[in-house]
Structure 1
Amino acid sequence: MEYPRIRLILTSSVAGMGFDPPSVMRIIHARPPRNLSQYLQEIGRAGRRGQNSSAILHYNKRDIAKNIPGIQEDIVQYCNNEETCLRELLLKPFGFSKSPGIANENCCSFCLNEDISKLYKAGAFDNNV
Structure 2
Amino acid sequence: MKKNNQILIIAVLLLFSCKSKIVIIENSENGKMEFNFLEVAQPFNLELTEFHENNFYCFTEGVPYAILIGKTNNTSLPNIVTVLSRCEERNFEVGQNLRIVPEEDPRKNVSLSLIYSVKDTIIRGKKKSWLIGAENSAIWGIAE
Q: TM-score by structure 2 length?
A: 0.20
* Structure with higher RCO (Cα < 8 A, 6+ apart): 2
Q: Which has the higher helix share?
A: 1
Larger Rg: 2
TM-score by length of 1: 0.21
Structure number having the greater strand percentage: 2
